C-alpha cells in the first residue's frame, strides 16, 4: 500500500490476510483497535493477474525463483498442497464455492463436545455468506451439463445442483456502484463466465477478500503490509505492573535477504497464515520464542480426502471454459461429492504435468501400468497431451469426502514434513473417484489424467489443507480453546484453516469465515476492554 505509514505500536498484528485474517482485521477495526495485517504475498489489481496459467511468474508463488504469484504448491511425503498467497490469501485463487458442511462435521474431531457447534455457528454462517456475497450460480456450462447427465446415470439427479458462489452476477462489462455494502464497498462488474476465477479475476466480478472485509477494514484505518513475513514473536512484560503482556514481532521483507528486520510492538497477535503459514511458524516459535505453546502444534492436520482428475475430451466442438470455476455439484453418497472445475481459455500449463489415471500396489507396478498404457493407447494419449486449446477440451473433476484421517506436520532437517497420526493414509487411488471419472469420460468421450505424483508416487493433491492448531479442552488436547485463544499466551489467537478441528468434506472457506466471525464477536470493543 503506497500510503502506508507504519507505527511502532498496534493493538493487534494479524499474520496473513486470508479468510480468517481479513475477518479479524475488519471486526477489530470496527471495535476501535489499531490493526496491522502482515501478508507475505503481493497486493493485486485486476490488471496484475495473468491471462493464463502459462505466465508462471505471475501465477506461481516460488520466491526462490523470484516467482511472486498467488498460487502456491507444497509437496509433502503424504500429500501435495495447493494454497494462495497475496493480499486476500486463498480468495485470490480459490474456486468461489461457499457451502455449509453437513451435520457430521460438527460432532467430529478435537472440538467435539466443546460446544453445540451446529447451533452456535448457524448465525455466523449467515453473516459470512452475506459478507462474501454468496449467490447461486445462474449459468451451467458444458462441464456442468455433463455432470448432470452423470448424476442421472448414477441415480443421484435429485442431489445435483448449481453451486453457491462468491461472485457478482451483474451485467457483464458494465460497472456499477457497490452492490453489497450500501455503497461503502468498491464498484463492481458482472461475471463474464470466462472460467478465469483460479488464475485471478481480471473483470472485477469475483468477491475476493480485498473487495469486502479487507476493503472495509482499510476504510476504518486498518493497515496492510504486503511482501513481508513474520519471522519471530517474543512475549514482553510491562514492568509497570509485572503482569500486562505485549509482544515484539519481527518482520522481514520477502525476497530481500540482506534487508534489516522491522520490529513492531503489539498487544495482541492473530495467526491467520493458513496451514502452510501458521503451523510452520508456530513450530518455529515453540522451539525458540514461545516455548509454552502446546505440544499439539502440527497435529490433527486433515485434507478433504480429495481426488483431482482431468478428463480430456475428444469431441471437436466443446468448450469447458464456459462458466465460473465450479458451477455445479452432485452429492454421490453421504460422505462424498463431485464438482467440475475449469480454467480459462489458453490455460494449458497443467498438460505438462499429467499422466494416465491408474492404480497399483507399488511404484514399480504403477510404472509398468503407465508404460503399458502409453504402448496400448499411443494415439489417444498423444491427442490428450497435444490437443490445441487444452483448457477448452479438459474438464477437471474434484472429488471430496468427509471421511477422516489425520497427519502431523513437524520440523525436519530440510523444513516441514508430514507423518501419519491416525486413520488411513490419504490416498491418490480412491475407487469411487476413479469410477466416477471413467463414467464422466464416457459421457464426454474423454480420457482421465492425473498428476504423476498421484499415478506414480501415490501422493494425493488437496486445495483444502486444514488443522495443525486445533481446538481442545486444554493444552493436552489442542493448541487453542473454543474461543480460538492460544493456551498459555494472553491475547493471542489462531483464526484460519489450521484452527478447523474436523473434516468438513467441502470447500472450507465459508466455515473459516464463520469461525472467524464468531471469534471476533467474543472480543469486546476497545473502550470496554480498557474498562476491565
Q: How confident is the model at residue 277 (pLDDT cuts 50, 70, 90)?
A: very high
Q: How confident is the model at residue 368 (pLDDT cuts 50, 70, 90)?
A: very high
The active-site residue out of 331, 464, 477, 483 is 464
**Cα 532 to Cα 529: distance, rounded to the nearest angstrom:** 6
Residue 254 makes CB contacts below 8 A (sequence gap 6+) with 40, 41, 63, 68, 227, 228, 229
Asked if residue 95 lies in contact with residue 509, where contact means CB atoms within 8 angstroms, the answer is no
Residue 462 host element (H or E): strand 461-462
Mean pLDDT of 99-110: 90
Q: What are phi and psi of 78, to 5 degrees?
A: -105, -10
78 pLDDT above the threshold of 90: no
**Cα 357 to Cα 437: distance, rounded to the nearest angstrom:** 9
What's the full length of the chain, in residues? 532
Decide if 464 is catalytic.
yes
C-alpha cell at 404: 477422516
**Cα 446 to Cα 440: distance, rounded to the nearest angstrom:** 8
Residue 63 makes CB contacts below 8 A (sequence gap 6+) with 254, 255
Asked if residue 475 lies in contact with residue 110, where contact means CB atoms within 8 angstroms, the answer is no
Q: Kindly write down the DSSP assignment for every residue of 57-104, as one continuous string.
A: HHHBEEGGGTEE-SEEEEE-SS-EEEEE-STTGGGGTS--B-PPPPGG
Give the other-Cβ count within 10 Å of 68's Cβ: 19
Residue 19 host element (H or E): helix 19-30
C-alpha cell at 333: 453418497
Q: How confident is the model at residue 256 (pLDDT cuts 50, 70, 90)?
A: confident
C-alpha cell at 328: 455445479
168-195 pLDDT tens trace: 999 999 999 999 999 999 999 999 999 9
238 pLDDT above the threshold of 70: no
4 pLDDT above the threshold of 70: no
**Cα 162 to Cα 136: distance, rounded to the nearest angstrom:** 6
**Cα 175 to Cα 468: distance, rounded to the nearest angstrom:** 42
Asked if residue 101 lies in contact with residue 121, where contact means CB atoms within 8 angstroms, the answer is no
Residue 463: predicted pLDDT: 86
322 pLDDT above the threshold of 50: yes
Closest CA to 107 of 475, 500, 502: 502
288-309 pLDDT tens trace: 999 999 999 999 999 878 889 9
206 pLDDT above the threshold of 60: yes
Helix (H, G, I), strand (E, B) or coil at 518: helix
b/e 141-157 (16+ beta carbons within 10 angstroms → b): bbbbbbbbebbeebebe
2 pLDDT above the threshold of 50: no
Q: What are phi and psi of 263, to 5 degrees?
A: -120, 130
Q: What are phi and psi of 232, to 5 degrees?
A: -160, 145
Helix (H, G, I), strand (E, B) or coil at 502: coil
Residue 166: predicted pLDDT: 97
Give the other-Cβ count within 10 Å of 327's Cβ: 29
301 secondary structure, DSSP code: B
Q: How far is CA 369 from the centre of its chain?
A: 33
- For β-strands 228-237 and 245-253, DSSP reports them as antiparallel
Asked if residue 263 lies in contact with residue 248, where contact means CB atoms within 8 angstroms, the answer is yes
532 pLDDT above the threshold of 60: no
* CB-count exposure of residue 92 (10 Å: 0-12, 13-18, 19+): buried
Residue 3: predicted pLDDT: 47
- CA separation, residue 288 to residues 105, 123, 456 (Å): 35, 39, 39
Residue 169: predicted pLDDT: 97
**Cα 214 to Cα 43: distance, rounded to the nearest angstrom:** 11
Q: Greater confidence, 334 or 61?
A: 61
331-343 pLDDT tens trace: 998 889 999 999 9
End-to-end CA distance of the chain: 35
Give the other-Cβ count within 10 Å of 446's Cβ: 25
Amino acid at each position: 500500500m503506497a500510503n502506508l505509514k507504519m507505527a511502532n505500536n498496534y493493538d493487534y498484528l494479524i499474520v496473513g490476510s486470508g479468510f480468517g485474517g481479513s475477518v479479524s482485521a475488519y471486526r477489530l477495526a470496527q471495535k476501535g483497535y489499531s490493526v496491522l495485517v502482515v501478508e507475505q504475498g503481493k497486493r493485486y489489481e485486476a490488471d496484475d493477474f495473468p491471462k493464463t496459467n502459462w505466465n508462471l511468474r505471475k501465477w506461481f508463488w516460488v520466491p526462490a525463483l523470484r516467482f511472486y504469484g498467488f498460487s502456491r504448491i507444497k509437496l509433502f511425503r503424504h500429500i501435495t498442497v495447493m494454497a494462495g498467497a497475496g493480499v486476500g490469501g486463498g480468495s485470490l485463487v480459490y474456486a468461489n464455492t461457499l457451502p455449509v458442511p453437513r451435520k457430521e462435521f460438527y460432532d467430529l474431531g478435537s472440538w467435539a463436545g466443546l460446544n453445540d457447534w451446529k447451533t452456535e455457528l448457524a448465525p455466523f454462517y449467515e453473516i459470512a455468506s452475506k459478507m462474501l456475497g454468496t449467490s447461486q450460480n445462474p449459468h451451467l456450462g458444458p462441464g456442468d451439463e455433463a455432470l448432470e447427465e452423470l448424476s442421472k446415470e448414477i441415480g443421484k439427479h435429485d442431489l445435483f445442483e448449481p453451486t453457491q458462489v462468491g461472485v457478482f452476477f451483474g451485467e457483464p462489462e458494465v460497472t456499477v456502484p457497490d452492490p453489497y455494502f450500501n455503497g461503502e464497498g468498491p464498484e463492481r462488474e458482472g461475471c463474464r463466465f470466462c472460467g478465469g476465477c483460479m488464475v485471478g479475476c481480471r473483470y472485477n466480478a469475483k468477491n475476493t477478500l480485498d473487495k469486502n472485509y479487507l476493503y472495509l477494514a482499510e476504510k476504518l484505518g486498518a493497515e496492510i503490509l504486503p511482501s513481508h513475513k513474520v519471522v519471530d514473536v517474543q512475549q514482553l512484560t510491562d514492568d509497570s505492573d509485572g503482569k500486562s503482556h505485549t509482544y515484539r514481532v519481527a518482520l522481514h521483507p520477502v525476497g530481500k535477504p540482506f534487508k534489516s528486520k522491522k520490529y513492531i510492538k503489539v498487544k495482541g497477535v492473530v495467526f491467520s497464515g493458513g496451514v502452510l503459514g501458521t503451523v510452520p511458524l508456530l513450530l518455529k516459535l515453540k522451539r525458540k520464542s514461545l516455548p509454552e505453546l502446546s505440544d499439539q502444534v502440527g497435529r490433527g492436520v486433515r485434507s478433504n480426502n480429495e481426488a483431482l482428475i482431468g478428463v480430456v475430451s475428444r469431441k471437436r466442438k466443446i468448450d469447458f471454459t464456459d462458466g465460473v470455476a465450479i458451477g455445479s455439484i452432485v452429492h454421490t453418497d453421504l460422505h462424498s461429492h463431485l464438482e467440475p472445475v475449469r480454467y480459462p481459455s489458453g490455460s494449458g500449463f497443467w498438460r505438462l504435468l499429467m499422466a494416465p489415471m491408474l492404480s497399483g500396489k507399488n511404484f514399480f507396478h504403477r510404472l509398468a501400468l503407465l508404460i503399458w498404457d502409453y504402448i496400448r493407447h499411443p494415439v489417444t494419449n498423444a491427442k490428450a497431451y497435444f490437443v490445441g486449446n487444452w483448457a477448452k477440451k479438459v474438464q477437471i473433476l474434484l472429488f471430496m469426502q468427509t471421511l477422516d484421517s489425520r497427519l502431523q506436520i513437524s520440523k525436519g532437517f530440510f523444513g516441514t514434513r508430514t507423518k501419519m497420526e491416525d486413520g488411513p493414509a490419504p490416498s491418490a487411488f480412491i475407487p469411487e473417484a476413479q469410477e466416477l471419472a471413467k463414467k464422466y469420460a464416457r459421457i464426454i468421450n474423454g480420457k482421465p489424467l492425473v498428476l504423476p505424483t498421484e499415478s506414480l508416487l501415490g501422493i494425493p493433491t488437496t486445495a483444502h489443507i486444514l488443522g495443525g492448531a486445533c481446538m481442545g479442552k486444554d493444552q493436552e488436547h489442542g493448541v487453542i480453546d473454543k474461543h480460538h485463544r492460544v493456551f498459555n499466551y494472553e491475547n493471542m489467537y489462531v483464526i484460519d484453516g489450521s484452527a478447523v478441528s474436523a473434516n468438513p468434506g467441502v470447500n472450507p472457506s465459508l466455515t473459516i469465515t464463520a469461525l472467524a466471525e464468531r471469534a471476533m464477536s467474543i472480543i469486546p470493543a476497545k473502550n470496554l476492554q480498557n474498562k476491565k
